[in-house]
Amino acid sequence: MVHPLPLMRNLFPAILLMLSATFAAAQSPPSIRVVPMPASVELGSGRLPIDRSFSVSVTGYHDVSLDRGIQRFLSQLSRQTAIPFWTKTGSAKATLVIHTARGRERVQKLGEDESYTLLITSARAELDAPTPLGTLHGLETFLQLVEPSADGFTVPVVTIHDQPRFPWRGLLIDVSRHFMPLDALRRNLDAMAAVKMNVLHWHLSDDQGFRVESRRFPRLHGMGSEGQFYTQAEIREFIAYARDRGIRVVPEFDVPGHSRSWFLGYPELASGPGPYALDGNASPAMDPTRESTYRFLDKFVGEMSGLFPDAYFHIGGDEVDGKQWDANPKIQKFMRAHRMERNQDLQAGFNRRLQKILSKHHKQMIGWDEILHPDLLKTIVVQSWRGQQSLASAAKQGYPGLLSHGYYLDLMWPAARHYAVDPMSDAAADLTPEQKSHILGGESCMWVEWVSPENIDNRIWPRNAAVAERLWSPQSVTDPDSLYARLDALTLRLEFSGLTLRSSRTLMLRRMAGAEDVAALAALADVLEPVKGYARSKGLAQWDFHAPLNRMVDAVYPESDAARRFTAIVQAWLAGGHTDSAAEAQIRAQLTAWRDLDAKLHPLLADRALLQELAPISSNLSALSAAGLQALDHLDHAQPSPDDWRAQQLALATQAQQPSANLLLMVAAPIQQLLDATAH
């Protein structure tokens, strides 16, 4: 599930293809700027003003949790408009009347009714939902509808009937490789609620850190976390915070591999002699042949089952490195005695024992693809990270499944690429309806090898909203242009809810520059993206999770909006036979600005250790932009460019598309297209 280096080798050309395909055709703007797009939207005419007279009344069922949700709604509406609403609840003739039919399950359950209906006229609004989950979703939709206009803040007249396509819409956050403080997680829960995601998959332990206080086994967090863990009180409060937002928290404790951090305090669990450290590349595994291992896990699962109320318990189970098993004579003897030929059989045996332990503690097992084995009960949920094929194959065998392959946010793909991955497409397209019913949804994954609390927000958002929409909206909602237009609005909205998905880059640029005015540096950052897939890890001799994440690659957004827009304009202009002079003027102005940027940046880049690696990129951008401007001149005069000049510039364009400082210059490709066009 992490760093399968070969997998993504050919990612880069794929992205370019994707961008080209996506932006070839301009499409009509979306009817409403809401993510995920509701199941049914009927747009009327007119708008309902959101001004100081706005008020809310609550009818039908309510409880303290829902009351808090409505209070949050008002606070958020205040943040978006700066109109103070705190005294405005409870009025009889309210602008927004909320009606909830009944309460929720004590512990949020997979498949609880999340539907709602939102009716907005030019005079008032009504939100109806069977349960508070639907009410919360409807309020989020309402907030996204609020926009400033010439007449002040308004929402459109609209009728929305909405419910999710899949019941399991999750986000995995790894907190082992880099610890994420609770405030970072809480603001991401807020953002998940904004896009109606309902599961936080909390990857709490891995080789590099064990992040939960265990009172039964205090050396787990005591020796396995460098002091960076969550107390049980914090976890209880955090789960309550998530529940208030309609989000289940599913804990993952990855076993029997990915478990080095356990062994610092409890080396007797391991299959090899140790000693163990949090640093390093070794991938030891638990010893599945000793009864003491299961006694430990029984007590451990018992303690954690009391802490995490969700019905599901994720046991990881991925990427078990067999080296320790192969090297341990006792384990080899055990395997021979039990006629186990492969390590997979040993792991299956381990999982069977673990499943019994989970059942005893009233938990349903969930794990990664590798746990799939005919011996396991059909109630286990298989989370597919290796491909859509394994999800389909699990469904065929009757196992409930979740798709994560295609939803790895750490691979730095563009939103449109995640958006194009559907749990029911590809191998799953051929399943029978009964088999399809086993597919519960999916989860995006935020692995944090290269992520800090400072940049996690922009690593997850807004791209994660593409996955959220894929899992909520009807399968037919697929237009990436519409998605991107709505992501722009969402980004704005999320920053108001406290996410730092835009502001943190500014701060990081200021740190590198040591100056407040970073406009020029930001202009460079705007056209850069981090390298894709696992390219950044590829050259590493050894992981170092204490290394500062303070370089440009850590600051730039995973997807460059500026490059996406520039590419679209260039391609449309070329496709139109270079006749659109307004578009050409735009291209020319942009290329001029990029050409002149290096002169502004050069002294700064030379004078800052953290920026020196950007000098060649900035210089490439300048040279390529100059070439692009010359290409425009050739195209204007309908004269082919000289072959040797073109060859030289194309060589530069090719070179500029190579990763440098773990960065990609995303406008090199569209400039290359301009150069190509001057050939005849």
Residues found near its own copies in the complex (CB under 8 A): 52, 80-84, 86-87, 147-153, 226-228, 452, 454, 488, 491-492, 495-496, 502-503, 506-508, 510-516, 546, 548-550, 554, 606-610, 612
Shortest reach from residue 117's CB to its own copies, in Å: 26
Joined together, the tokens standing for residue 506 give: 């500014």
Q: Which three-class secondary structure string do you get for 196-264?
A: CCCEEEEEEEECCEECECCCCCCHHHHHHCCCCCECHHHHHHHHHHHHHCCCEEEEEEEECCCCHHHHH
Whole-angstrom distance, CA of residue 565 vs CA of residue 675:
18
- DSSP per residue over 47-113, as a string? EEE-STT--EEEEE---HHHHHHHHHHHHHHHHHH----TT-BT-TT-SEEEEE-S---SS--TT--
Shortest reach from residue 82's CB to its own copies, in Å: 3
Rank residues 307 and 492 by Cβ distance to its own copies and give the closer one: 492
Q: Is 319 a catalytic residue?
A: yes
Shortest reach from residue 618's CB to its own copies, in Å: 16
Q: Which of 114, 319, 469, 529 is catalytic?
A: 319
Joined together, the tokens standing for residue 186 give: 């809480």
Sequence-ordered list of residues with C-beta below 8 angstroms from that of 168, at least 6 positions apart, any chain: 110, 198, 199, 402, 440, 441, 442, 443, 471
Shortest reach from residue 212's CB to its own copies, in Å: 18
Rank residues 78 and 283 by Cβ distance to its own copies and give the closer one: 78
Whole-angstrom distance, CA of residue 245 vs CA of residue 230:
20
Shortest reach from residue 226's CB to its own copies, in Å: 6
Angle in degrees, CA 213, 272, 291, rounded to 5: 70
Rank residues 162 and 526 by Cβ distance to its own copies and give the closer one: 526
3-state SS, residue 286? strand
Joined together, the tokens standing for residue 399 give: 């196992």
Backbone angles phi, psi at 566, to 5 degrees: -65, -45
Bridging pattern class, strands 152-162 and 40-49:
antiparallel
Backbone angles phi, psi at 209, to 5 degrees: 180, 140
Shortest reach from residue 95's CB to its own copies, in Å: 16
Cα–Cα nearest to 580, from 565, 569, 564, 591:
569
Shortest reach from residue 436's CB to its own copies, in Å: 38
Joined together, the tokens standing for residue 442 give: 């999916």
> Is the distance from CB of 457 to CB of 503 less than 8 angstroms?
no
Tell me the β-bridge partners of 97: 57, 126
Shortest reach from residue 516's CB to its own copies, in Å: 5
Whole-angstrom distance, CA of residue 159 vs CA of residue 364:
39
Tell me the β-bridge partners of 441: 168, 402
Joined together, the tokens standing for residue 619 give: 């210089």
To which residue do tokens 């750490």 refer? 410
Shortest reach from residue 52's CB to its own copies, in Å: 7
Rank residues 87 and 432 by Cβ distance to its own copies and give the closer one: 87
Amino acid at 434: E
To which residue do tokens 């595994």 refer? 285
Shortest reach from residue 511's CB to its own copies, in Å: 7
Rank residues 71 and 397 by Cβ distance to its own copies and give the closer one: 71
Whole-angstrom distance, CA of residue 316 vs CA of residue 383:
9
Rank residues 227 and 577 by Cβ distance to its own copies and give the closer one: 227
Sequence-ordered list of residues with C-beta below 8 angstroms from that of 3, at least 6 positions apart, any chain: 449, 534, 537
Amino acid at 523: A
Rank residues 99 and 511 by Cβ distance to its own copies and give the closer one: 511
Helix (H) or strand (E) holding 300: helix 291-307
Task: Give the number of other CB atoms < 10 A from CB of residue 654.
Answer: 11
Rank residues 298 and 596 by Cβ distance to its own copies and give the closer one: 596
> Is the distance from CB of 336 to CB of 345 less than 8 angstroms?
no
Rank residues 41 and 512 by Cβ distance to its own copies and give the closer one: 512
Rank residues 134 and 224 by Cβ distance to its own copies and give the closer one: 224
Q: What residues act catalytically?
A: 319
